[in-house]
Amino acid sequence: MSDLAYLFHGFAVAITPFNLGLMLLGIVLGVIIGVLPGLGAANGIAILLPLTFTMPPTSAIIMLSCIYWGALFGGAIASILFNIPGEPWSVATTFEGFPLAQQGRAGEALTTSFTSSFVGALVAVVMITFLAPLIARFALKFGPPEYFSVYLLTFCSFVGMGKGSPAKILASMMLGFALSAVGIDIVTGGLRLTFGFTSLLKGFDFLIAVIGLFGIGEILLSMEEGLTFKGASARINPKVVLETWRKLPRYWLTFIRSTIIGCWMGITPGGATPASFMSYGAAKKFSKDGDKFGTGVVEGLVAPETAAHAAGTSALLPMITLGIPGSPTAAVLLGGLLIWGLQPGPLLFAEKPEFVWGLIASMYLGNVVGLIVVLSLVPAFAAILRIPFSIIAPVIVVICAIGAYTVNNSMHDIWFMLGFGVVGYLFKKLNYPLAPMVLALVLGNNAEDSFRQAMLMSGGSLAILWSNWLVGSISTLAMIMLFWPLIAQGLRKLVPSKPDKLSSEQPVD
Amino acid sequence: MNPETEEAGAGDRGLVSTRAVEIGVAAVLFAFGAVFAYSSWKLGNRWGIEGPQSGFFPFYVSLIICGSAASVLFHAIRAGRAHEQAPFVLRGQFAQVLKMAVPATLYVLGVQLIGIYVSSAIYIAFFMRWLGRYAWWRSIAISVVIIVSFFFMFEVWFQVPLYKGIWDLTAWTGY
């Protein structure tokens, strides 16, 4: 298969000393970002994005995606040692990870979680390697109605699979669409919704929204909770690693189940956080030690970590093949592609094979490098959490402000960032999900564009969304997702079931 | 960690109920949706010569915002005071949030006036002194080291010039 030849070519691209160095830098930065509260993968990458504008795109995406892998690994360190989830998808990791650390088995817990992450990511990358070219080839046939129906499915999935109030999911999403419409109308070139403010001419940049919502909002929340970092000490020696590795294969079924959950939730925009909770719940249900969960069961640590990493990785599949990101972080990477002048989507495979395959090859290498880095440098990363909050907090605010400024070299953006921070704080506390808003901000223009083109083709009839079997089935699936909360309610009346205790602990992502 | 944080929590009264904030945020969202819907309607939310007009898409998006906000509003009001949940934020907690938010706002104002570097240095040193109770010399030393390294990273290595403010206090550096 020529795809494999491309993949080897990709390895050749990724393995140059410059790119390997960037990979290492990205992983280390990513782990630091993942460990620190207030800096997550999405806003960390958004902040560093402007620094990559001068790099070759392939090197830039390698570094940024490695930050993503690093952040996925790093979230686990804070969860296990300090019982503080550095990222929302690490919340489920604290359930078993922290009790293990308290029993003095921190090394075992960390090794288990890193290895599970690695396995989850690796399977997802293999899946991307084989599925991506197929999907891209298939998607070449897509016209505007097909694209709009895929957008529709993406956004309706938030309603169908999201947690919490459907009205809040819709409100958050539509707020994103509304803000993305501000500024210049890309079809007619006219101005709209600027209300006479010149600072709104360029509209709202989603990178600013990401930095504000996730960065400033998170810092405000951390401050309110009054974080105190009291952690278990971290020592990993090769003996513990080997012993843990010898024990892990007995959880093969958990690995397989969690990977499937993770890949599915990553491709559909469910995201890593619900994937980790679903996987933890499933492991608890099927394990014979199910009743001991919560006291430090290794199996309960394998499940969420494998699923979170599989989901985080496979979120890149729809991003590179269709131009539709499966998570806020993938959305930021997509924004990066657009800035570097690359149009994500099926044509990317034909026009820039060295870029796509370089990226895919770097996913393999990045995860191997990541595993080695985190296993060997855990004490150093854990030490970051011992820096007092009164130093970290203002530094993070400064980094966010610099990041917001460098996106467009605009002072207004720093004010917008502050505003988004307040919105992020309020929304998070009221359980409005932030991911749909970010994705709507990123995709708003494209979604509207494909909608208007589809409407032009049909002369204004929505029937075009059901005009052939392909677009029809995607649209129908979207409608099922959109009305899923109502359908589920109906089903519950027919088949009463026990309320799920675990899901109440899950944060709205 | 600073001592204030540990005081927060125990024996602290709620500042405002979750229901009140829920109603407030939903009302603001509704107003936002209404303003956007009106503005899109004026732009033209119908079928024009170029297909759907400029305001077509935002108009319906705004209507959905209004609808969802109304639904949240309705549920929050109907829940009534009887179902009063936990308070939205405790007084001590909100004081903590303000301790973060107010200096951050002043900091951004400072960025506007005297630029990112000088404003950041003052902000970090002040924050460490005020909440971290560090000695003045330590706060200033740490913040200056951080900001000087940022300066070299952005201005010198990456050659990304940052905002210098209305009154540029770093002009003497030549960047």
Q: Delimit the domains of chain A by residue range.
A: 2-505
Chain B interface test: which of A223, A385, A400, A427 (most B C-beta within 10 Å): A223
Determine, for residues A394 and B127 on separate chains, whether the beta-carbon distance falls below 8 Å: yes
- B120: contact with A, CB 8 A cutoff: yes
Give the C-alpha separation, A172 to A431, whole Å: 10
pLDDT at B49: 73
Nearest by CB to A448, which of B57, B112, B146? B57
Q: What value does the mean pLDDT take over residues A440-468? A: 87
Cβ atoms of A319 and A330 within 8 Å: the answer is yes
Instruction: Determine the pLDDT at residue A129.
Output: 92
Q: In whole angstroms, what is the distance from residue A48 CA to residue A26 CA?
A: 10
Residue with tokens 């829920």: B22
Taking residues A397-414, report their average pLDDT. Answer: 92
Average pLDDT over residues A14-39: 88
Identify the band that residue A76 occupies on the pLDDT scale cut at 50, 70 and 90.
confident
Which of these, A152, A42, A275, A176, lies nearest to A168 by C-alpha position?
Answer: A176
Q: What is the DSSP letter of A236?
A: -
**Can you tell me whether residue B9 is helix, strand or coil?**
coil
pLDDT category, B10, cuts 50, 70, 90?
A: very low
The distance of Cα A307 from the centroid of its chain, to the nearest Å, equals 12
Is a pLDDT exceeding 60 seen at residue B142?
Answer: yes
Q: Specify the residue for token string 């179902």.
A: B83
Is residue B162 within 8 angstroms of chain A, CB to CB?
yes
Contact A178 B116 (CB under 8 A): no
Task: State the Cα–Cα distance between residues A127 and A315, nearest whole angstrom.
Answer: 12
Q: How does residue A275 score in pLDDT terms, banded at 50, 70 and 90?
A: confident
- In this prediction the pTM is 0.88
Average pLDDT over residues A458-474: 88
Question: Residue B4 pLDDT > 60, yes or no?
Answer: no
Tens of pLDDT, residues B49-106: 777 888 889 999 999 999 999 999 999 988 876 556 678 888 888 998 999 999 999 9
Supply the pLDDT for residue A212: 92
Out of A175, A411, A430, the one facing B112 most closely (by C-beta) is A411
CA torsion A21-A22-A24-A29 (nearest 10°) is 140
Contacts of B150 in chain A (CB under 8 A): 398, 402
Q: In Å, how far is A427's CA from the nearest CA of chain B?
A: 9
- Lookup result for tokens 């509704």: B30
- How many Å from the N-terminal Cα to the C-terminal Cα in chain A? 39
pLDDT at position A141: 85
pLDDT for residue B3 is more than 80: no
Interface residue of A155, A192, A221, A429 to substitute, partner B, most B CBs within 10 Å: A192
Banded model confidence at residue A216, pLDDT cuts 50, 70, 90: very high
What part of A 33-62 touches B (C-beta under 8 Å)?
50-51, 54
What share of chain A in percent tops pLDDT 70? 95
- Does B134 contact A at CB distance below 8 Å? yes
pLDDT at B5: 40
Site of tokens 């309960």 = A300
Are A224 and B89 a contacting pair at CB < 8 A?
yes
CB atoms within 10 A of CB A269: 26
If one counts every other C-beta atom within 10 angstroms of the C-beta of residue A392, the result is 20
Q: Which amino acid is at A428?
A: K
Q: How confident is the model at residue A354 (pLDDT cuts 50, 70, 90)?
A: confident
Please identify which residue in the block is written with the tokens 């001068």: A54
Lowest mean per-residue pLDDT among A122-136, B56-70, B152-166:
B152-166
User: Which residue's structure tokens are 């549920």?
Assistant: B75
Q: Tell me the average pLDDT across B127-149.
A: 93
Region A351-369: mean pLDDT is: 90
pLDDT at A505 > cutoff 70:
no
Q: Provide the percentage of residues in chain A whose pLDDT is more than 90.
A: 33
- Percent above pLDDT 70 for chain B: 91
For chain A, the average pLDDT equals: 87
- Mean pLDDT across chain B, nearest whole number? 87
For residues A504 and A298, give the distance between their C-alpha atoms in angstroms, rounded to a whole number.
23
The Cβ of residue A463 has, within 10 Å, a number of other Cβ atoms equal to 9
pLDDT at A91 over 60: yes
| Burial class of residue A495 (count of CB atoms within 10 Å of its CB; 0-12, 13-18, 19+) | exposed
pLDDT at A333 over 70: yes
Burial class (CB in 10 A: 0-12, 13-18, 19+), A499: exposed
Given a cut of 80, whether residue B134 has pLDDT beyond it is yes
Q: Which residue is it, tokens 């669409």?
A: A177
Nearest CA to A47 out of B150, B113, B112 is that of B150
Mutation to test the A interface, candidates B36, B105, B155, most A Cβ within 10 Å: B36
- pLDDT per position as a tens digit, A232-255: 666 778 888 888 899 999 999 999
Q: A250 is written with which tokens?
A: 């007995």
Residue A65: strand, helix, or coil: helix
Question: Does residue A480 surpass a pLDDT of 50?
Answer: yes
What 3-state DSSP class applies to A410? coil
Q: How confident is the model at residue B121 (pLDDT cuts 50, 70, 90)?
A: very high
Phi/psi for A445 (5° steps) reads -65, -45
